[in-house]
A and B are shown apart, each in its own frame.
Chain A
């Protein structure tokens, strides 16, 4: 470990590792730290990802692809099924990842590109000089060291502290978080589609997912919107779901976690600081998906770091380019998804059935969700009137 780096990245998830790798490839001095002793484990993710988006970041490798899926099936409370997101060719449209292996592969790529990596190393605070963030305090094996850096990347996930230490309020309100539980279930027919069960019948303000991880195993999980959970625990609801719908299923892993679903936050950069991924609350409010957004944001953050290094300016004046670029791309999508989510959670199960029925005669199987939504709106203008600004 050196005492000074160009960039220190806190958190070796997909967002952090892509940032570290991209910076290192450009010749920057990079340190990537991970507080856990094992990168990628324990998993806190449903592991579903769209093929095309992922391929733009990394060459697929069967070591971290648990299963390929044809597309998605949305299942309404009355059982009506809507197929979506299949490939034109009939090929596989999505992957269920093995995050334990995937996250390691990404960190390894960062390492091979020249980044230093430290595991079991936890950021405990920020260093400051003249109002600028100039590094971190990091604890490794019970000892705390100062590590100086021109830019600190906070890629420290749902439990991010880096932003808060840097003066950015990233605390999530109850309506900004989905609280989730998931079982890796074996002894079932997992099928070829990622399945999404919507409606209060299954879970309040979220959905139940079944993502195949092999012919006979799947990630089966559910999320509850924090503001709707009352005294209901996701783990209890999931146990009940299993009893009713997958009684033969055998649970071989338990996963729990929170997903930011509040849409874009106001600020993600400060002098000498950039937030990336779940730490920047960049996961999608409707789907909860965050891997690709984190990787996209990590790429942008790194490109901005490289420019900042060339200029020798690490103030928000230069780092704001990150803010502008992620908001114009990821941010726009988050805002749309937030509007749709906010409406959907208000609908009754009967209304959700009505929406599903309106699509029965249309072949949506090759359409991604953003293409299906305008059709839904056209067919159900009254029910979805709140969303008119998105489609008119």
Chain B
């Protein structure tokens, strides 16, 4: 009983703070200071865009070599690496070159993609890349089901500087599954 009476004892200071709305005035001072030092954190998005970080993982794309041939060798590793089963690869032999394969069809269902970048890591020939595109809002969900041509087009517009063919980059580079008729003869 004595403890309740001590807590309920009229504290003059607290009482004064209550009748002068002290706490409310502190809050109102805070809001007013924000009004006077008006520094909005808003970014007017369609008119101004924030700078993306260097390692930004945006829309996926298929890449080409500098001579315009597709990098993809149809190995299916990206399909295996993808955690949400975005990718579907139909691999086939290059006609006339039995040692060489390519992706005859390549589909990505971007509605499911979570942009983890595992397919890019898995690719042995660096045929996949993540662009800095992110404005892919569409009215029809089916427009996000991309085929090989669309993915190559994204890569073409996002990566204008292309790599040389793998076998031309360095004489000792390890590569596989490549027909040798494109390789220039080694100097004796």
- Please say whether chains A and B are actual partners in one complex: no
Chain B residues within 8 Å of A, Cβ to Cβ: none
Chain A residues within 8 Å of B, Cβ to Cβ: none
